[in-house]
A and B are shown apart, each in its own frame.
Chain A
């Protein structure tokens, strides 16, 4: 009796081990992987169905901010080009707005500061699990895109950065729902100061209804595109291209 129980107990543990190994093998074959990765589409569809297009991410009071705002990912792009811009206090930095727009723009830090501003105290949620709260300020991406005149074919906005990953610039992308969301801003200030280098100086994206890796730092270009195919490896971002992260990072 006891022996049989031990066998059963061992059987359950062994079975669990086999199942765990099976999960690893499953994602290596095409169909299970396709089904599993469809979870992203389902999550996005559900969330978009449940939220208003302009539903706001929670905003917080000044005293609820994190004492220290953790920086993550690249803390300094470290390229000679970026070092030169930083040494010149970003006076020579320009944000190029192009792609499928009627009027391409080249915006300086001063230009960004002269557009209508939005300031928001929001929570930054890293995909790893931690959260930090800070105050961000900058023009709305929607206003910048309207000034550039988005063409009808445009479906996504691609952000190209000064920091390099695996030999190519970091990039990210969002769709037009998030691009024209009232809290999606090109932030140049964190907690009432110019962005520190570790947090993406001189300008980073804030896309408050998604996880941290979507909030591209060290912005250099903003391009409207019809499709994400042919950009990088076609998945819409560095992490999406190279390590299977979800393009829609709303959860």
Chain B
């Protein structure tokens, strides 16, 4: 056992912590402003073109003002927010990926092992989740398999695809990099996929927040701020030991 219950270990590296918080702000602004932009033309199409006379595969609801940025319909300002934070998201993700490859964070913490993908292991991990046990007591520092799969999904699929489909929406970038449009099957398909990626990222964020609360918000939050994380007893969350309730760990 590399870290017995109750001990405090270094959980998240500096690069991960900095990126996490910048990214959290960027995702928050991009989702809010994206919903504002969606309200300008809440119809999604497949293919290269699509406007009011063409068949939409999805008619989106009008998103209420309280979840859009700005909180009244203003396409120009929604775009300003979205296009600024798109750059923040894209370049920070790039920097984080380079950093995490160099310091082997991805190789160490996100690499899936064959034994984790057996049905037996997956089923055991489902049961552990239902029992609010999120950590293997033998290796408390390791992410569980669903954690790894969702981080891999969001880091290497949803976020890059959201960025690529965003690039495909730019008529300027269409001239610069026409292969992006070809890859995605046209601008309106790219716009649909962009929306689906945003939905996946929003769903990830909700599940992520719920699990942070269930796993002990104080301990988890501190580990993403200072890097220090207290190992829960037997992998099970000990509410009484959570710093939000109990103050600093003994």
Contacts and interface: CB of A to CB of B under 8 A. Distances in A.
A129 B41 contact: yes
B239 interface: yes
B173 interface: yes
Contact of A40 (B43, B75, B77, B83): B83
Q: List 10 A-B pairs, minimum CB-CB distance, nearest first.
A: A250-B172, A39-B84, A51-B176, A251-B170, A129-B41, A130-B51, A128-B40, A68-B53, A244-B76, A128-B41
Contacts of A66: 49, 51, 53-54
Interface of A: 1, 4-5, 8-9, 12, 16-17, 19-21, 23-24, 27, 35-40, 42-43, 46-47, 50-52, 55-58, 60, 64-68, 70, 123, 125-133, 208-211, 239, 243-246, 250-251
Interface residues of B, number: 53
A58 B174 contact: yes
Interface in B78-92: 79-81, 83-84, 87
A245 B76 CA distance: 5
Nearest to A240: B76
Interface string B41-57: 10100001111111000
Given A8-B217, A19-B28, A50-B177, A64 B49 contact: yes
A65 B75 CA distance: 27
Contacts of A5: 213-214
Given A27-B77, A50-B177, A251-B173, A43 B53 contact: no
Nearest to B245: A4
A64 B188 CA distance: 13
A132 B175 contact: no
